[in-house]
Each structure stands twice: as C-alpha cells, then as structure tokens.
Amino acid sequence: MAKKKQSVKKVVLAYSGGLDTSVILKWLQDEYGCEVITFTADIGQGEEVAPARRKAKMFGVKQIFVEDLREEFVRDFVFPMFRANALYEGEYLLGTSIARPLIAKRMVEIARNTGADAISHGATGKGNDQVRFELGAYALMPNVKVIAPWREWDLLSREKLLAYADKHGIPVDFKKRKGGAPYSMDANLLHISYEGGVLEDPAFEPEESMWRITVSPEKAPSRPQHIELEYRKGDIVAVNGRKMSPASVLATLNKIGGRHGVGRLDMVENRYVGMKSRGCYETPGGTIMLKAHRAIESITLDREVLALKDDLMPRYARLIYNGYWFSPERRLLQGLIDASQASANGSVRLKLYKGSVLVTGRSSKSDSLFDPSIATFEDDRGAYDQADAAGFIRLNALRLRIEANLRKKRR
C-alpha cells in the first residue's frame, strides 16, 4: 500500500455499493485520510439503489447522494445521440458510453456544491470508462483531482479484494464471494453489457441464461406485434398513441422489444486504450429507436442532409465512445444534428417478430418530402419530364467518357 496521502480533503466517489466501490470507499478513507462523499445514480440499471445508502452509512459517510437520473439520462443524453443514428463500428449502440458523461457531470456538480477537491471512480486502468469519466470531469472542472484506485493500489485480483473486505468488515454478497456470474455486467435504461470472464474467448458462445432482458428469437411469440411511434423534432413523444416521457418511452420499448427477442449483439470492438475487447449487449428499445428514426428521416430530410449526417455519424459515435461528450467538436456536431431534426415530425409503424424489426409505414402530415405526384409510375400529368434525364445522365457520364477515351488511345 502507498503511504497515507494528505493532499485531498474531500472526495466524491461514484458509488454503487458493490464489492469494488465498497472497498474503494474504505481504501480512500485509509490511504488519503479524507472525507468521502458517495454518489449513487439510478439510471435504470434495474437494481435497488437504497442499499448503497445503508452501506455508505456503515462507514461513517455523512454526505450521501442517491439520485434518480433516468429522465435526464434519456432526455439529455440518449435522445440527442439517437438523433444522430449513432453506431460505433457499425453495430454498438453506445449504451455504456452514453451513461458516463451524465455520471461525471453530477460528480462535478456535487463536488462544487460540497466543496470537494477530488473525485474517484471504480473503473480499471484497462478500460474505456476511466477515460470517459475523467475527460468529462476535466471538461467541466479543469483543476479537479482524480483518484483512480485501480491505477494506484495492489488489489488487482478478486481474491485480494475479498481479503481486504474481510479484514475491514465490508459486507460481501454471497454470489460475489463464490465468484458470481462468469462475466461482468453493466446496466442502465438503454442496455445491459456483458464482458470479461468466459467471454474473453471470442469463440465462446454465451449460454442462453446470460441474457437478462430479451428472450431468444426462437422462443419469442409466434405472432408479430405492431407498434406506432410518434416523432416530434426527431424524438419519440408517444407510443401507440400514448404520450410518454423520454424515460417511459425507452422503458416501454425495452419491454416490447425484449419480449420479441430484439436487440441482442455479440461483437469484438476496439477500445480507445488500444486493445480489442469482446462484448455482448442487449439493447431492445434502442434497436427499435434506431430503425424507426431512420424511417422518419427517410421522408422528412433532404437527400444531401441525410448523406451529410451519415458521413458525420461514425465520427460522432467515436466521440461518444471515446469520452468526448463535453468536447467542443461534439457540441458543434450536435448543433448541426439538432438543426436537421426540425422537420423530423410524424409517425412510424413497425412490426416486431422473432428478433427482427421491420418498418411497415411512415408518414408526416406537415414535413413529408415524398411527393406521390412525382414519384408515381403512373401518368404524372407532366410533373416530371422524363426527357430531362438524358442530359442529366450525359453530364454525369462526361468524366467517365473522357477517361474511357484516354484508355482507348493508350491501347
């Protein structure tokens, strides 16, 4: 162990109440001799957060923050991200990535309000989350001190963590003591992720029992379910005609999608720190949202606006994955994306069936760019002069013809 450090007076700890952060709480008290303030965020992880308050009190924590952030999470982070149709490396819907800036933001706010001079988190030195937490914190509180115990201590195995917990009287869940799940999990209202343990072999097929919120497509209902989503400025405001808050929208779509086996993903991704990592994800509501959002944009956005958004999307997704939510470039891109959504109004109908999401209809009374009088294959009564296409094609073929003639001369 390092010698006791006196440079920190008060630290805000992102605290779940689990083994890692409970050990960190005690370790901070012992190693830094500082007051620890705990912050526990309910972002829809599906677990009771009240026990975190009780465990923090056990170790003399006087300032304990347990907050329900589900609405803020979806309204201010998930929905803006989905306006961009963000996918990391073509597949990942960024469920873990998008939660970290919100937690960092609240940690900094609590630090300012309580006079704390440091923050601490339980992310390891190999992962992406350390980057996301700390980039977010530095962007909002440039001179904050960050304490990342996994980069400082020698408790680098589960056995050492358990021994430390036993020595200091830290309660340990029986499942955790016995090894628990053969992988690690992270959950919020957007998704559940699974990684590590048996999943570190990318050839290993996870057991069906791993998945928590989706049924297997094989066991999904034999009859499809139809749903209708209403959009206003690119955000879903109603499901099947029922007005809902952002968090309620996502929770409802999670339930519907999970019932039909929608939203499972198994991928090997490239972490920002340089290594490849295998992760499995369940994102039923997000999978539905992405499909539906592209559908409403298909009839309400100009062709070149859509193309520009698609060009920028991978960069936007990387910014979120790598932890740059509060960066000037992400904010600049967000302004462009949000401006494009002024006309993304209307409704989308979808059919969910055994893991698939199929768009069956889309409409917009006020903003549709689909003109049946021009698009029709029947008599358009002069709305479109087909003879114009000849000149259009010849002009676009000019460079191809010039190159072809040059090649012909060289033979």
Encoded amino acid at 221, one letter: P
Domains parsed from the chain with CATH numbers: 10-80+93-180 (3.40.50.620), 186-301+344-363 (3.90.1260.10), 372-406 (no CATH)
At 2 the pLDDT is: 46
231 forms bridges with which residues in the sheet? 236, 346
- The whole-angstrom separation of Cα 265 and Cα 96 is 14
- Six-digit token pair at 224? 């499809």
The model's pLDDT over 37-78, given as tens digits with 9 standing for 90+, comes to 999 999 999 888 888 999 999 999 999 999 999 999 999 999
Q: Cα–Cα distance between 96 and 192 in angstroms, integer?
A: 8
Q: What is the pLDDT of residue 317?
A: 98
pTM given for the model: 0.94
Question: pLDDT tens digits for 283-322?
Answer: 999 999 999 999 999 999 999 999 999 999 999 999 999 9
- Residue ranges in 268-324 assigned as alpha helix (H): 284-300, 303-322
List of the chain residues with pLDDT < 70: 1-6, 174-180
Distance, C-alpha 67 to centroid of its chain: 19
Give SS3 for 36. strand
- For residue 56, the SS3 value is helix
Phi/psi at 188 (nearest 5 deg)?
-155, -175
Question: What local confidence, expressed as pLDDT, does residue 176 receive?
Answer: 60
Greatest alpha-carbon span in the chain: 87
For residue 313, what are the contacts with CB-CB under 8 A and spacing of at least 6? 84, 85, 86, 87
* Enzyme catalytic residues: 20, 100, 129, 184
